[in-house]
Amino acid sequence: MAVAFLFCIFLGRFLYIQLIWEDELHYLAIDQWTREIPVNAGRGLILDRNGELLAGNRAKYAVYARANAVDDPSGSAALLSEALNAPYETLYEKLTDRSKSEILLARRTEKSVVEQIAVNELKGIYYARNDERVYPYGSAASQLIGFTAYDNSGTTGVESYYDAYLKGKNGEILFETDLVGVDLKGAAAAYLPATDGLNVRLSLDVRIQSAAEEVMSRVLAETSAKAARAVVIDPNDFSVLAMVNLPSYDLNEIPRDDLSELNALSRNNLVSDVYEPGSTFKIVTAAADIEEFLKGNRRALDPGRYVFPSSRTRVVDGTTIRCWSDHKNGKHANQTLAEALNNSCNPCFVDLALTLGKETFYDYLAAFRFGRTTGIDFSGEAIGMLLPESALRDCDFARVGFGQSIAVTPLQLACAAASAVNGGYYYTPRIALEISSADGSVRQTLSPTLVGRTVSEQASAILSEMLEGVVRDGSGKKAYIEGYRVAGKTGTAQKYENGVIAQGKYVSSFVGYFPADAPRYLALVIVDEPQGSYYGSTVAAPCARDIFRGIIDIMGLQPEEN
C-alpha cells in the first residue's frame, strides 16, 4: 500500500509538471536563454464625433543597451554622449553595469538621432519605437481628454478610462544569449510584433467645445471669477458635446513637477465636484408638482391656476425664508407657477415642496438620480449630497425645494434638467460613441442607454413652455436670441465655508436649451465667485446665449419664421 501511495504521489507530481506547470517552465527556460528588447505598441487615437484628432502620436524612439553585449563601453559612451546630449560619465556607468539585463539610455529621441547612432553599428545598443503623445488642441477639453504617464499608460480622463482599448499590446525582440547574457554567435533574433491600440471616438464636438471655451474664458477674465465651467449635452441621448473647466492647462505642457497644481488643473469639476445649485434646481421641483397634478394628486398645486400668496416670506420650524426681492412695483405680488419661475421666487417653491411632502418629493429626487452617480463613462464621479429623508428637518426640506440643503454635481443637474424637458426620458450620459481599429472597422458601438422615466411628456411640455417664458419675460432675458426658442432657468447661490455663509461669495448659474419645443442642445453654465455683479441673470445667462449663438453658427441653424 505504501509503495502504491508513493507511486500515486510521484505520478500526480509528474502530471502536474507536464500538464499544468508546462507553460510557466517553458517561459522560464526561454527567459534564461534570451534577452528582450520591447516593441512598444502604438497608442490608439482619440477623436471627436466628427473624426477630428484630439489625441495622437508623434514618432519617437527609445535607446537601450545590454551591457553584456557592449564590447567598447568607453567608445560607445563617447559616441552616445554626443548624439544624445547626455553626460559621458552617466552613460559609461550604465554601459558597464552588467548586473542588469536591459538598460534604458534615452526614453524618447528623434529618428534622426537614432540614425546618427545606428551608422556606427555599436554592439549592444538597440532601438525601439516609443511614441510621444500629442494633443492638437492643447488645452481644449483637457480635463475630459486627460493625459498619459511617461510609459504612455492612461493617467486621467478618457486616456485613463479607455486605457484598455487605447494601449494595445507590446511586442518583443528576443536575442539568444548564454547564461551571462552574451549574444550567441550566429543566433537569429526573434520578432514578436506589437498590436497597436484601438481608436476611441467621442461624442464631443471640438467646434462646440472651442466656442464654449472662448465664451467662458471671456467671462472668467471680465468678472475675475475663481472658476468658470460649462457642460453642453444633447438632451435626446445625453451625449456630451462640450465640457469646459477653467482655469485649464495645455496637455502638451503638463506641469508634472507641481503635483498640487496638476491635480487641481486636471480635475473635471463638472463630474467630480458638488455645489448647491440654487434656483436652477427649481426646474426639478416644478416638474414634480406638474406631474403629480396631472396624476390627480390632490396635494399638488394646479400649475396653471393656483396663485401663490403675495407674502415674500415663509416661516418653517421657526426659520424665516425670504424671496430674494420684491418684484412688482416694490411689492411682492400674487403669482402663478409660471410667474414664480420668471421671478425665481423662493417662497413659492417652499410651498410646492411642503405641499408635495417628503416621501413624494424624494421619489422624484430618486427618479432624477440625485444622491447617486449618473453612470457616465468617466472615473471619479461624485454622488452628490442628499440628506436621508428620515433625518431631514422641515426647514431643511423647504430649502431643498429651491436648491439649498442639497449638493449636486453640475453633470447631475444638467442631466436632470434635460430629462425634465425632453419628454421625461433619463439616459446614462456618455462621452464615447465607438471603438474602432486603425483601418476604420468598428469594434464596439456605445449606444445610448435609457435608464428610466422622470415625468410624462405632457408634464415636460408644460414645464418647457414655462421655462421659455423665463427667457422671454423673466430673469433669463439675457439668454434670449431673436428668432430662436430658447428656454432656461437662472440661479444665484450663496457659498458656504465651514458650515456658515461666506459673505460676498456666490455661484452664478444658468441652465438653458433650445429649441424649447424640441430640445437639441442644453447648456449649464457656472461662474464661481464672480466679482461685481453676481446674479445668474446678469453673469451666466449671457454666457449661455453666446454659446448657443456659437452652436447656431457652427451648425448653420436657421431662425424660425414665427
Q: 76: buried, middle or exposed (CB in 10 Å: 19+, 13-18, 0-12)?
A: buried
DSSP 124-161: TEEEEE-PEEE-TTTTTTHHHH--B-TTS-B-SHHHHH
Catalytic annotation present for 239: no
In order of 66, 149, 321, 346, the CA distances from 404 in angstroms are 64, 40, 11, 10
In b/e form, how buried is each residue of 252-269, taking b as 16+ CB within 10 angstroms? eebeeeeeeebeebbebb
Bond before 247 cis per omega within 30 degrees: yes
Cβ within 8 Å of residue 357, ≥6 positions away? 299
| Non-local CB neighbours of 74 within 8 Å, separated by 6+ positions | 92
- Among 279, 405, 419, 464, the one annotated catalytic: 279
**Contact assessment for residue 125 and residue 65, using Cβ atoms and an 8 Å cutoff:** yes
Of 128, 130, 126, 129, the residue nearest 66 (C-alpha): 126
- Cβ-contact 487, 477 below 8 angstroms: no
Q: How far apart are CA 243 and CA 550, in angstroms?
A: 15
* Residue 32 φ then ψ, to 5°: -70, -30
What is the four-CA torsion angle of 82, 86, 88, 93, rounded to 10 degrees?
Answer: -140
8 Å CB contact between 293 and 364: no
Number of C-beta neighbours around residue 446 at 10 A:
18
Instruction: Please identify which residue in the block is written with the cell numbers 502638451.
Output: 252
- The three-state secondary structure class of 38 is strand
CA atoms within 13 A on the CB side of 250: 6
The DSSP bridge partners found for residue 432 are 202
| DSSP at 331 | S
Active-site annotation, residues: 279
